[in-house]
Structure formats: structure tokens, C-alpha cells
A and B are shown apart, each in its own frame.
Chain A
Amino acid sequence: AQSVTQLGSHVSVSEGALVLLRCNYSSSVPPYLFWYVQYPNQGLQLLLKYTSAATLVKGINGFEAEFKKSETSFHLTKPSAHMSDAAEYFCAVSAGTALIFGKGTTLSVSS
């Protein structure tokens, strides 16, 4: 069965600092992996997806993630945080038709 673990429920960074949000997955088949962002009282917006092509995936808003099979990881990074990046981030793995989500990581950005 597929599952996702997000390490750290809350990450705080300063504006301009590196953002690193961690995600480890478990899957019995080659996984399809996703990162979504959720702003308060809104739905989820797709940031990027891994579909077994390039292991380094670039997404919107300057985010990228690297698929590492040996580490079963799909960590999300952004070189320089912006105040507008403050939100909740979810890693997800495709399990057939459903997406299995992690519990989320809240990113805070201070000036």
C-alpha cells in the first residue's frame, strides 16, 4: 500500500532563505508523486508532479523537487523564500485513482 510521511509539521524560515520541506513515500509500484499548496480557507493548488521522467522536477512559483528512489524521498525546495510562500504544503502519492496525502507541513516566512 502507498503512504506518505512528511517530516516536520511546521517549518519556519526567514525571507530570502532556502526552503526545504521533506517528504518520504512508500509504494509497492513505481510512484507518481505530487506536491500541493493550500492557502487558508482555499482548496489545493498543484505545485509540481513526478511522473517517472526527469528526477528533478520544476514547478510553479520557483519550487522544485527531486525524486530519490534510493532514499524513497521527494523533498520540496525553493532557493529563496518569499512572504507569499507562507501556506500549508502537502505531499501526495497516487494510489490508483485516489491520492494519498501526508499530514502537511505549515511553512512560516518571517521578514
Chain B
Amino acid sequence: DTGVSQNPRHKITKRGQNVTFRCDPISEHNRLYWYRQTLGQGPEFLTYFQNEAQLEKSRLLSDRFSAERPKGSFSTLEIQRTEQGDSAMYLCASSPRDGGPYEQYFGPGTRLTVT
């Protein structure tokens, strides 16, 4: 069990550019979550996958955001046409098939800075 990993750990981009983040969950965890955390706030839920199916999306996930989890393993979160308001820590979490109630294990996060 190597834990949830996220890459890159830090990303600085210019406004209007596209960025993509990757999350590798704990092996055999079939549930995967993305959260966003801004300074001084707790994490806010963005989206949830069970295996390869995206089952829930928050209203925070605007049309510029897209997430995928091909083959039900790693996941990617893409932000198109980044805005300064997208600057935040993006956290990924996973939970096991039979785990509960929905105990989630978090990765170290990707800190995005939009200049």
C-alpha cells in the first residue's frame, strides 16, 4: 500500500492555459474523489468515480473542468482556459470497494497557481 499519489505537486500556469493533473489511487480502491481546497477553507467536493464511471459532479465543476478515469485506475483532472480563481490545492482521495462508511484516503495534492 503506497498511498494515493498525485502529479505534479505544484503547477504554475498563465491565465488561459490548460492544465492536467493526475491521481493514482491506492491499488484496488474502486472509488475515487476529487476535491478543491482554497486558502483558509476546508476541501470542497468536485466529483466522484466508481470504477470508470463518473457518478457525481458538484456544481463547482464548471464546463471548463473535466475529469476522467479510464479503465478504473488512475484519474486525470483537466482545467481548460484557466482563470485566477482556479488557484487552489486540488486533492484526490480514494476508498476501498468494501470500505465504509466512505472512509477516504487523501493524496498530497497538486497546488495550482494561475498568474
Closest to A6 in B: B42
Partner of B43, one of A32, A41, A99: A99
Q: Which of B4, B6, B104, B105 has the most CB of A within 10 A?
A: B104
Q: Is A92 an interface residue (CB 8 A)?
A: yes
A11 to chain B, nearest CB (A): 15
Assuming the contacts A44-B43, A104-B42, asked whether A99 and B108 have C-beta atoms less than 8 A apart, the reply is no
Contact yes or no, A104 B91, CB < 8 A = no
Residues of A within 8 A of B107 (CB): 43
The residue of chain A having its C-beta at the shortest distance from the C-beta of B107 within the complex is A43
Give 1 or 0 for each of A26-51: 1 = CB within 8 Å of chain B CB: 00000010101000011111100101
**Does B101 sit at the interface, judged by CB under 8 A?**
yes
**Complex Cα–Cα for A17 and B42 (A):** 26
Given A42-B108, A43-B6, A46-B105, output 7 extra A-B contacts at Cβ < 8 Å: A43-B91, A44-B93, A44-B106, A46-B104, A92-B42, A96-B56, A99-B104
Binding site for B on A (CB under 8 A): 9, 32, 34, 36, 41-46, 49, 51, 90, 92, 94, 96-104
